[in-house]
């Protein structure tokens, strides 16, 4: 769990201050300077790690006094959120992206750790290794959506 690259470090930093308050406002260039990277790296971190499906809202403003605001939002409507994830999953999904969805389900308490691991084991690369890669992603999407749909049912 060590930090292996700048993106991970910045992600951790931002999430740590997000624990203090549910909404933070940063200056892109300041963070970039603080972590000795180019400003656009911040955009990369945000785009890859602070997505809507993970429950983050991001707003920003350019020009003098510009900022980037990241907000951790609570889910208002469970069913709606699950539908969003289904939509995000789409007809086809890579293992990496599917992992992100399961992680989101875990973080939002739709799955516990054990359940998440079980689900992940059903569609990892080896399991779905077909001759055709496209089919692999299609089957994975079907499995994932079926699971999410199942989660809509109260046990």
Partner DNA sequence: ATAATAATAGTCAAACATAGTCAAAGCGTG
Partner DNA sequence: CACGCTTTGACTATGTTTGACTATTATTAT
Which residues of the shown chain bind its own copies in the complex (CB under 8 A)? 2, 4-5, 7-8, 25, 61, 64-67, 113-115, 117-119, 121-124, 126-128, 139, 142-143, 146-147, 149-151, 155
The entry of DNA, its own copies, none near residue 12 (CB within 5 to 8 angstroms by kind) is: none
Cβ-based neighbours of 57, under 8 Å, separated by 6 or more: 70, 71, 73
Rounded CA-CA distance 134/105 in Å is 24
Shortest distance in whole angstroms from residue 92 CB to its own copies: 14
Please list, in sequence order, all residues whose beta carbon lies within 8 angstroms of the beta carbon of residue 39, skipping any fewer than 6 positions away. 28, 29, 32
Q: Which residue number, 60 or 83, has a Cβ lying nearer to DNA?
A: 60
Work out how close the CB of 60 gets to its own copies at its nearest, in angstroms, rounded to a whole number: 11
Residues 6+ apart with CB under 8 A from 113: 106
Which of its own copies, DNA, none interacts with 68 (beta carbon under 5 to 8 A by kind)? DNA
């Amino acid at each position: 769990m060590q930090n292996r690259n700048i993106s991970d470090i910045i992600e951790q930093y931002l999430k740590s201050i997000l624990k203090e308050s549910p909404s933070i406002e940063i200056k892109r260039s300041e963070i970039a300077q603080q972590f000795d990277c180019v400003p656009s790296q911040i955009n990369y971190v945000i785009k890859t790690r602070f997505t809507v499906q993970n429950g983050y809202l991001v707003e920003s403003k350019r020009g003098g006094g510009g900022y980037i605001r990241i907000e951790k939002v609570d889910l208002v409507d469970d069913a709606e959120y699950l539908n969003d994830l289904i939509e995000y999953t789409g007809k086809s999904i890579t293992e990496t992206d599917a992992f992100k969805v399961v992680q989101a389900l875990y973080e939002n308490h739709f799955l516990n750790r054990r359940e998440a691991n079980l689900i992940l084991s059903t569609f990892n690369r080896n399991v779905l290794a077909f001759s055709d890669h496209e089919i692999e992603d299609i089957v994975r999407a079907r499995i994932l959506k079926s699971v999410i749909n199942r989660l809509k049912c109260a046990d």
